[in-house]
Amino acid sequence: MYRTMVILIGIVLILVTVGIVMLASTSSVQGGTQYHDPLFFVKRQAVGLVVGAFIALFAARLDYHYWRPLAIPLALASLVLLVLVLIPGVGQTVKGSSRWLRMGPATFQPSELAKFSSVILISWWMSRFQLHARELRMGLVYPLALLGLFLGLVFIEPDFGTTMLLAMVGMLLLFLGGSRVGYLAVAGVGGATLFSLAILHDPVRLRRITAFLDPEQYARKEAFQLLNAIYAFVVGGGRGVGFGQSLQKHFYLPEAHTDFIFAIIGEELGMKGSLGVLALFLGLFLCGLYISYRAPDRFGQLLGCGCTLMLSLQALINMGVVTGSLPTKGLPLPFISFGGSSLVASMALVGVLLNLARQAISEEDERDARCIRDAARRI
């Protein structure tokens, strides 16, 4: 288990390093023109990194069982903050979305907290009512209703990417927690229908979908980012154009330093760079899975799975969007994209995973336990 922890920490450190280095490259243009400081974004990210490191350390040292009684208060706090964001004047609206809360010089994105607290909430619920998991109400309706509160509030910000992510992770946790697949399938289809209806009523998002289906047609506006992200990979080729040499960051990709940073990695570092980052997330996923598998109790297992899925699904969706395999959604790439809240939330999730690893059943214990289990089964 010690080895897994070292690998996990190593992966995260590499990701964070790649992130800050690539941020220095990609954000220099926008920082230079917008704020007259090429390092503007790097400085802000460094602050997030320090805060994130402390929170990760704290989470790693805090016995994860303490999160159990905190599940409801944390969920309430997130909900309150999510409501606050919607109030004009309190929340900050950028490009039509109210996602940020301003606190002095810093801004904070409550949906990132929601990611963390929803994982804890569902894990707590499904372990607490483990015996009722196959019932319709206790196993599906109530936890889904709780999750629905988060989803609804995030949805009307609007932040469709995070809504999707929360819904997917939540459903997967319900499945892992023992809900009936049939119920989940019905709920999933229902949710997807609602989601599509909402999108059909939102011209901006609808155009994003149609643009995704036929990018050349919408090359001027809707698919501009999408096409340019794909161009970045194509231009990068096998070897990349060289660090700092990206052309796409010069306003071809307006979100080059946030959601589309993976494209710049592909352009500057080439295939070895982008596949490397993909491999790192694969490693993260496998480590997280292994740790969850070894968790000493049900709550730990679900919590570990939730954290792992949250990080790797987000990475997967982001890379899927950037490579043009999924319709455009505003989701940052964990550890790498610019965004303090996202970085801190990702670090906290890793911290929880590390604590799980510390308390994981060692191989010997496992072997002993298996003897007892096998003996019991024989009787």
Partner 1 sequence: MDLVAGLLLIALMALAARIVQLHVGPNDSLRRRIDQTRRYEDRLPEPRGRILDRHGNILAIDLAMRNVIADPSEVLASGNPRFIGLQLARVLQLDPAMVMARLNRPNRRFEYIQQRVPDETADLIRRMQLRGVSFDEVSARHYPQGPLACHVIGFANLENVGSAGIEQRFHTYLRGQPGLRVSEKDGRRREIFDRRVLDIPPQRGADIYLTIDQNLQYMVEKALESAIAEHQAKGAWAVVQRVRTGEILAMASLPGFDLNEYRSADDLQKLNRAIGYVYEPGSTFKVATIAAALNEHRVTPDQVFDCENGCWFFKGRPLRDYHPNGLLSVADVLKKSSNIGAAKITLTMEEKTVERYLRAFGYGAPTGVELPGEEGGILADRSQWTSLSLSRIAMGHEVGVTALQMLNMLCAVANDGMRVRPTIIRRLVDAEGHTLMESKPEFVAQPIRSETSALMRKLLARVTEEGGTGTRAAVEGYTVAGKTGTAEKAINGSYSSRANVSSFMGFLPAEDPDRIAIMVVVDEPQGAFRTGGVVAGPVFREIARQAVRYLDIPPDVPVEAGVENKPEPWRSL
* Chain position carrying tokens 């040499």: 245
Number of residues that bind partner 1 (CB under 8 A): 43
Q: Which amino acid is at 305?
A: C
Decide: is 172 part of the binding site for partner 1 (CB under 8 A). yes
Reference 23, options 8, 43, 37, 52; nearest CA is 43
Give me the phi and psi of 98, to 5 degrees please: -100, 95
Pairing relation of β-strands 106-108 and 97-103?
Answer: antiparallel
DSSP 288-318: HHHHHHT-SSHHHHHHHHHHHHHHHHHHHHH
Each residue 257-296 as x (binds partner 1 by CB under 8 A) or -, in order, gives: ---------x---xx--xx--x--xx--x---x--xx---
Report the distance separating Cα 56 and Cα 130, nearest Å: 29
Q: Which parts of 5-44 interact with partner 1 (CB under 8 A)?
A: 29
Minimum Å distance from CB 253 to partner 1? Answer: 7
Kind plus residue range of the DSSP H or E element containing 277: helix 261-293
Decide: is 233 part of the binding site for partner 1 (CB under 8 A). yes
Nearer to partner 1, 55 or 144 (CB): 144
Q: Which two tokens stand for residue 195?
A: 């989601």
Residue of 22, 49, 230, 344 that binds partner 1 (CB under 8 A): 230
Each residue 181-220 as x (binds partner 1 by CB under 8 A) or -, in order, gives: ---------------------------------------x
Q: Rg of the Cα trace of the chain?
A: 21
Burial class (CB in 10 A: 0-12, 13-18, 19+), 178: middle
Minimum Å distance from CB 57 to partner 1? Answer: 28
Residue of 17, 193, 196, 325 that binds partner 1 (CB under 8 A): 325
Residue of 8, 154, 253, 336 that binds partner 1 (CB under 8 A): 253
Residue of 20, 71, 133, 316 that binds partner 1 (CB under 8 A): 316
Residues that bind partner 1 (CB under 8 A): 29, 172, 175-176, 220-221, 228, 230-231, 233-238, 247, 250-254, 266, 270-271, 274-275, 278, 281-282, 285, 289, 292-293, 305, 309, 312-313, 316, 319-320, 323-325
